Chain A
Amino acid sequence: MKGMSFDVVLCQPERKVQVAELHAYFWGDIAASAAYLEWKYERNPYLRKSPIYLALRDGKPVGMRGMFGAMWEAGSSSQKLLGLHADDLVVAPEYRSRGVVANLMSAAFDDLREKGWEYVFSLSAGAVTRLSSLAAGWRNVGPVGELRRASRRVERLRRLHGTVSGMRFFHRYAEGVRSLMGRHLQSDLRRRRTGGAIKVAACVSLWQEPRPEEMAGLVGRIPHDGRIRHVRDRDYFAWRFQNPIHKYWFLFWEEPDLEGYLVLQEYLPESMDRTVTNIVDWEASDDRVRAGLLQAALRLGHFPDLRIWSATLPDKTKALLETSGFRPGGGGSGIADQQKCILVKPLREGAPEKDCVLAGRRLLEIADWDVRMMYSMQG
């Protein structure tokens, strides 16, 4: 017995409206979905026409999976690898459990393999997608090690939300709890209206716009240990912070050249967790600047739930985060572990694990990665 069969095609411009409608199952906002997809797949600096695969039923898209371009680098000579980052998996509710995802992914991987792509990456898979991805041959590189600095009030309300969601007659009130959290537990940062720079410490100021040229210059100046990381050049910084559903703030340390930056991010759609603030990237020329930027961020005001990925940070930086009140987050264990993971799908059939390397660095070993939340669309 088989599920339904679907035609799988690459998205063409004439289907943009249909695709935005399908994607809107995420946030319930077609215009937001259209803007997001255009930014991510059409204005991507490394792959202008990043592919979106569609499963069609009677000519209408009922499932989608996007693959946007991601430029990785590794090794002492910064060898580059253009890879694809799988994201935006959506199936129309009436077609779930009908074999859409299996059809879609199998056709997409066949097509990508034929076109010579070697790897597909995923950095934001939660528990559900992680399990189905592993069942489809993806490899689990490891968890991202999310740390949280969350207020007790947020933790209590989140537990209440979890409890209410699982109760037979009360689950309808779960949305109310979530909405209450989103409305009343926001960071002080979100309330800041000013558009100009704000001085927050002797060398540190807060901005609402990135400085792509200077940020790329700083990344280029700081010695790279050769681990696998995303390329952070001028084009990447200029594109990355235009994500229309996120809001970013930038702390810059200058004396007078840029010596460090720390990027904070929050979600804009009401349907997303508006209590959360993420540190999505953090770079500094030395430990003094790094610590100073974190202190400056914490002094900006109250953050109900501040998060950062720590798995690949140096021990010294992890210790700094711990003394600043960050603790392991995620919740759940076993199958339900909510921790995000790095997943890699080698497209070459039967490729031995030892061959999955970039400039001598192993793609399937977390120790060979330097991963920031900014590299995933979580941040």
Chain B
Amino acid sequence: MNRASPDPSLRGHLIGLLEENNPEACAALGDDTSLIRSGLIDSMALFNLALWIEQETGSQLDLNTFDPSVEWDTIAGILDFIGRHRRRDLPG
């Protein structure tokens, strides 16, 4: 697990995913910009984000065990979540 320095390419992928969803908003996206609570990402974008997070962590997520509006509300939060939940046998 590595919370301190998230993989820069992972951040790039995440920005790319968010950009696909809302190109205008992404121009001003910072690591702590609210994504879910502000409504910047809609339900479909959130779903695509969740699928990507499942792929990156290598595990199926149980929505009863965490609150996505808290843990995935910012880019920093999402990267931290992936770092904490990534299966140990996965590369990166």
Could you list which residues of chain A lie within 8 angstroms of chain B, going by C-beta atoms? 1-3, 89, 91, 96-103, 127-132, 134-137, 140, 333-336
Name B70's closest neighbour in chain A (CB-CB). Answer: A135
**CB neighbours of B41 from chain A (8 A):** 97
* Contact between B47 and A98, CB atoms less than 8 A apart: no
In angstroms, Cα B37 to Cα A2, docked, is 9
* Cβ-neighbour of A96 out of B34, B38, B42 (below 8 A): B42
In the assembled complex, the CB of A4 is this many whole angstroms from the nearest CB of chain B, namely 9
* Cβ-neighbour of A335 out of B33, B38, B61, B67 (below 8 A): B61
* Contact between A135 and B60, CB atoms less than 8 A apart: no
Instruction: Please indicate which of the listed interface residues A97, A98, A132 has the most CB atoms of chain B within 10 Å of its own CB.
Output: A97
B25 in the interface, Cβ–Cβ < 8 Å?
yes
* Contact between A132 and B63, CB atoms less than 8 A apart: no
Interface contacts (Cβ under 8 Å), in number, total 86
* Contact between B61 and A91, CB atoms less than 8 A apart: no
**CB neighbours of A102 from chain B (8 A):** 36-39
* Contact between B39 and A101, CB atoms less than 8 A apart: yes
* Contact between B37 and A334, CB atoms less than 8 A apart: no
* Contact between A3 and B46, CB atoms less than 8 A apart: no
Q: Which of B1-43 contact A (CB under 8 A)?
A: 21-22, 25, 28-30, 33-34, 36-43
Instruction: Please indicate which of the listed interface residues A131, A140, A333 has the most CB atoms of chain B within 10 Å of its own CB.
Output: A131
In angstroms, Cα B40 to Cα A102, docked, is 9
* Cβ-neighbour of B25 out of A1, A132, A334 (below 8 A): A1
* Contact between A97 and B47, CB atoms less than 8 A apart: no
- Sample 12 A-B pairs with CB under 8 A, ordered by A number: A2-B38, A3-B40, A96-B44, A97-B21, A98-B22, A102-B38, A103-B39, A130-B63, A334-B59, A335-B51, A335-B60, A336-B51
* Contact between B60 and A334, CB atoms less than 8 A apart: yes
Name B44's closest neighbour in chain A (CB-CB). Answer: A128
* Cβ-neighbour of B54 out of A97, A128, A334 (below 8 A): A334
* Contact between B50 and A335, CB atoms less than 8 A apart: yes
In angstroms, Cα B51 to Cα A199, docked, is 50
* Cβ-neighbour of B40 out of A97, A130, A333 (below 8 A): A97
The size bracket of the interface on B is: 20 to 34
In the assembled complex, the CB of B81 is this many whole angstroms from the nearest CB of chain A, namely 13
In angstroms, Cα B35 to Cα A2, docked, is 9
In the assembled complex, the CB of B46 is this many whole angstroms from the nearest CB of chain A, namely 5
1/0 per residue, CB under 8 A from A, across B57-76: the answer is 00111111001110010000
* Contact between B68 and A97, CB atoms less than 8 A apart: no
In the assembled complex, the CB of B31 is this many whole angstroms from the nearest CB of chain A, namely 12
In angstroms, Cα B22 to Cα A288, docked, is 57
* Contact between A132 and B47, CB atoms less than 8 A apart: yes
* Contact between B69 and A101, CB atoms less than 8 A apart: no
In angstroms, Cα B64 to Cα A140, docked, is 8
Contacts known (A1-B33, A135-B68); A335 close to B42, Cβ less than 8 A = no
* Cβ-neighbour of B43 out of A131, A334, A336 (below 8 A): A131
**CB neighbours of A130 from chain B (8 A):** 63
* Contact between A128 and B43, CB atoms less than 8 A apart: yes
Closest 6 CB pairs of A and B: A102-B39, A99-B39, A334-B60, A132-B43, A135-B69, A97-B22
* Cβ-neighbour of B68 out of A1, A99, A128, A134 (below 8 A): A134
* Contact between B39 and A335, CB atoms less than 8 A apart: no
- 15 further A-B contacts with Cβ under 8 Å, apart from A2-B38, A97-B22, are A1-B30, A1-B33, A2-B40, A3-B40, A99-B38, A101-B42, A102-B37, A102-B39, A128-B46, A129-B43, A131-B43, A132-B42, A135-B46, A135-B69, A136-B69
Contacts known (A97-B45, A134-B68); A333 close to B60, Cβ less than 8 A = yes
In the assembled complex, the CB of B30 is this many whole angstroms from the nearest CB of chain A, namely 8
* Contact between B54 and A3, CB atoms less than 8 A apart: no
* Contact between B69 and A137, CB atoms less than 8 A apart: yes
**CB neighbours of B43 from chain A (8 A):** 89, 101, 128-129, 131-132
In angstroms, Cα B43 to Cα A97, docked, is 8
In the assembled complex, the CB of A103 is this many whole angstroms from the nearest CB of chain B, namely 6
* Contact between B47 and A128, CB atoms less than 8 A apart: yes
In angstroms, Cα B69 to Cα A140, docked, is 15
* Cβ-neighbour of B36 out of A135, A335, A336 (below 8 A): A135
In the assembled complex, the CB of A97 is this many whole angstroms from the nearest CB of chain B, namely 4
* Contact between B68 and A131, CB atoms less than 8 A apart: yes
In angstroms, Cα B72 to Cα A89, docked, is 23
In angstroms, Cα B21 to Cα A130, docked, is 19
